[in-house]
């Protein structure tokens, strides 16, 4: 049996805590919730492995799990795993690390450790997830690519699962816009799946991060993907579903996002298309309809918007159709006066706008029309208006 002192002596610069988190995560039949339950019970991962057989049995664990923890065999395997990861240029981030994403820590079953290739800090930036079917229509691929590009230009990190179809389109959109993207794998970080995404994975490592909770060498088994979906939604403050059939992993991600108290968005699709079933259903159930980047950005907390929007070059402001334009819309005096009266977190009735802008109603209405065409103002029922950004 491998003892803890021997492990620490041989590991030298390795973090003892990291080794114990990894070892706990490797125990078959324990699971993420079980790992955290044991750590809460004993105070630390190290204390779990130091517990007596009687103490472990009192936790109500399956006999096989009790034997595995008490034997400490996974500690030796964890050491080998860290050494392999180092050779691959991969960082292992345990749950106790300050580098572990704060949002992910909030979910009910966060991974004990994350394997990361690329920029670890990308995991803690403001993130939006975009997911969808592996067999998208041309419309779905185009929308995912454009939406990811527009949001990445506005400093949001785009997270997805690097699967074929919508996921890949979202990653490519973010990369081509010069932004950051994070890919969450359903395999070991050294097993690129699908194989044709090997080049895409390399690009993501250079401009974001590729991550996994699965040990090195893990095959991309079908059951792994629903498990990894909780990480995609857990990293992000919101999830956009672009196209998804009735029985789709993307709908699992949407459900997980709701359980994690995240925002859920959906891009509407053709009602005759099976791939539109998921997003159209989500919209019926209350998900926010998205047809351009501003529909997402306006749901961010005001403090986050204020942090992100100043970094946007003027040339990337949206035009009337929500697409990126070559120049920022120029506002005339009336439009600027009206725009300055509005706020993103408060609706104003037309009469209030006229009074605040000290302009007659016809000129205010004309200014509002121009602002709405430029995507800067949104009209609500009853002649109420709100600033979009």
Residues 264 and 345 in one domain: no
Q: Which pLDDT does position 14 carry in this prediction?
A: 45
Least confident of 4-8, 68-72, 160-164, 184-188: 4-8
pLDDT bucket at 378, cuts 50 / 70 / 90: confident
Residues 183 and 291 in one domain: yes
Residues 139 and 28 in one domain: no
Least confident of 107-116, 141-150, 271-280, 337-346: 337-346
pLDDT digits (tens, 9 = 90+) for 179-236: 999 999 999 999 999 999 999 999 999 999 999 999 999 999 999 999 999 999 999 9
Least confident of 115-119, 277-281, 363-367: 363-367
Question: Residue 229: which CATH number?
Answer: 3.40.50.450
Is residue 375 in some structural domain? yes
Are the C-beta atoms of residues 357 and 338 closer than 8 Å to each other?
A: yes
Residues 298 and 336 in one domain: no
Residues 258 and 178 in one domain: yes
Residues 162 and 277 in one domain: yes
Beta bridge partners of residue 264, listed in sequence order: 239
Number of domains in the chain: 3
Residues 148 and 21 in one domain: no
Range of the domain at 40: 4-84
Q: Percentage of residues in the chain with pLDDT exceeding 70?
A: 90
Is residue 13 in some structural domain? yes
Are the C-beta atoms of residues 88 and 210 closer than 8 Å to each other?
A: no
Question: Residue 341: which CATH number?
Answer: 1.10.10.10
- Chain-wide mean pLDDT for the chain? 88
Q: Which pLDDT does position 16 carry in this prediction?
A: 60
CB neighbours of residue 28 within 10 Å: 10
Is residue 308 in some structural domain? no
Is residue 316 in some structural domain? no
Residue 292 has pLDDT above 90, yes or no: no
Residue that is last in its domain, among 249, 283, 302: 302
Residue 299 has pLDDT above 50, yes or no: yes
Are the C-beta atoms of residues 388 and 298 closer than 8 Å to each other?
A: yes
Distance CA 287, CA 192 (A): 32
Average pLDDT over residues 365-381: 83
pLDDT digits (tens, 9 = 90+) for 155-175: 999 999 999 999 999 999 999
| DSSP assignments along 354-376, one per residue | HHHHT--HHHHHHHHHHHHHTTS
Residues 199 and 336 in one domain: no
Q: In what order do the strands lie in the sheet with 384-387?
A: 348-349, 384-387, 377-380
């Amino acid at each position: 049996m491998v003892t803890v002192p021997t492990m620490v002596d041989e590991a030298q610069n390795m973090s003892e805590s990291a080794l114990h988190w990894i070892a706990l995560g490797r125990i078959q039949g324990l699971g993420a919730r079980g790992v955290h339950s044991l750590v809460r019970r004993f105070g630390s991962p190290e204390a779990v492995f130091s517990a007596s057989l009687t103490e472990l049995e009192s936790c109500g664990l399956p006999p096989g799990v009790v034997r595995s923890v008490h034997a400490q065999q996974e500690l030796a395997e964890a050491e080998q795993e860290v050494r392999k990861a180092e050779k691959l240029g991969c960082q292992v981030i345990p749950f106790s690390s300050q580098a572990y994403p704060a949002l992910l820590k909030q979910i009910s079953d966060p991974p004990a450790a994350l394997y990361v290739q690329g920029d670890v800090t990308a995991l803690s930036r403001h993130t939006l997830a975009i997911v969808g079917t592996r067999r998208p229509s041309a419309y779905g691929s185009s929308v995912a690519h454009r939406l990811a590009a527009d949001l990445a230009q506005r400093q949001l990190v785009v997270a997805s699962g690097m699967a074929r179809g919508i996921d890949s389109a979202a990653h490519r959109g973010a990369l081509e816009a010069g932004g950051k993207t994070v890919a969450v794998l359903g395999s070991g970080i050294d097993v690129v799946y699908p194989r044709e995404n090997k080049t895409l994975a390399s690009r993501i490592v250079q401009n974001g991060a590729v991550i996994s909770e699965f040990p090195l060498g893990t095959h991309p088994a079908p059951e792994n993907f629903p498990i990894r979906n909780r990480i995609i939604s857990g990293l992000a403050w919101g999830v956009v579903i672009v196209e998804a059939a009735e029985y789709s992993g993307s709908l699992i991600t949407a459900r997980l996002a709701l359980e994690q108290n995240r925002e859920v968005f959906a891009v509407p699709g053709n009602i005759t298309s099976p791939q539109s079933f998921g997003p159209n259903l989500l919209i019926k159930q209350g998900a926010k309809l998205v047809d351009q980047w501003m529909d997402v950005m306006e749901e961010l907390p005001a403090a986050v918007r204020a942090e992100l929007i100043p970094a946007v070059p003027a040339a990337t402001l949206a035009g009337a159709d929500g697409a990126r334009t070559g120049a920022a819309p120029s506002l005339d005096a009336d439009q600027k006066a009206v725009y300055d009266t509005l706020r993103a977190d408060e609706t104003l009735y037309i009469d209030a706008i006229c009074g605040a802008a000290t302009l007659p109603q016809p000129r205010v209405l004309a200014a509002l029309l121009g602002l709405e065409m430029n995507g800067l103002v949104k009209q609500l029922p009853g002649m109420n208006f709100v600033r979009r950004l």
